[in-house]
A and B are shown apart, each in its own frame.
Chain A
Amino acid sequence: QKEVEQDPGPLSVPEGAIVSLNCTYSNSAFQYFMWYRQYSRKGPELLMYTYSSGNKEDGRFTAQVDKSSKYISLFIRDSQPSDSATYLCAMSYGQNFVFGPGTRLSVLP
């Protein structure tokens, strides 16, 4: 079993749709949970982070963590074509930092 699993997609949605991206993990030691966005041929940029179970909202983005189920999600409301990118979940504890494989998202105008 991989330490972090994520559906690779591709995921295509119409503009304005609500997008749900998910990751599961197996190591209960993970303390910090992050979502990165990576445009084609660019480095990843940090979108959101959280360290506790529950929801965290930032504009159109909501990060959700359920530590009991070892499950994290990123919701994007009112999706825009500019949201088209690969979204990678990541989690860490101490010096250990693990990325999920990423989900490719396309928002169609």
Chain B
Amino acid sequence: GAVVSQHPSWVICKSGTSVKIECRSLDFQATTMFWYRQFPKQSLMLMATSNEGSKATYEQGVEKDKFLINHASLTLSTLTVTSAHPEDSSFYICSARDPLGVSYEQYFGPGTRLTVT
């Protein structure tokens, strides 16, 4: 199946700094990627939908100026958490749709654990 990678897998940063997380589709071109956040023992919460070459669509309640998403190529989307605070500590997961595959299927990355101290 299709492979999606994320980097880094774990990051610790100080409060007030910014952190960039990368999501790559390794063997297919993803016109659409999704960013999710997951708190411990909770389900995935969709943060935004990232479309290559256009602005991301954010879900209600997600601050677009705090969570900057860039989808500059068909294989790479980045999520930058700006001025991170301890409450931003979470597990961030990206997924991608293969436009040549079935419409329902999303391929998930392994996730990035962010800890803000």
Contacts and interface: CB of A to CB of B under 8 A. Distances in A.
B44 A44 contact: yes
Contacts of B44: 44, 88, 99
Interface in B50-102: 91, 93, 95
A104 B95 CA distance: 21
A24 B41 CA distance: 20
Contacts of B42: 101-102
B contact residues, range: 20 to 34
A9 to B, nearest CB: 10
Nearest to A45: B108
A33 B54 CA distance: 29
Given A49-B104, A49-B105, A97-B106, A41 B43 contact: no
Interface of A: 8, 31-32, 34, 36, 41-46, 49, 51, 88, 92, 95, 97, 99-102, 104
Interface of B: 1, 4, 6, 34, 41-44, 46, 49, 91, 93, 95, 103-111, 113
Q: Which 10 A-B pairs have the closest CB atoms?
A: A32-B104, A43-B108, A101-B43, A43-B110, A102-B43, A43-B111, A44-B108, A99-B44, A92-B104, A43-B93
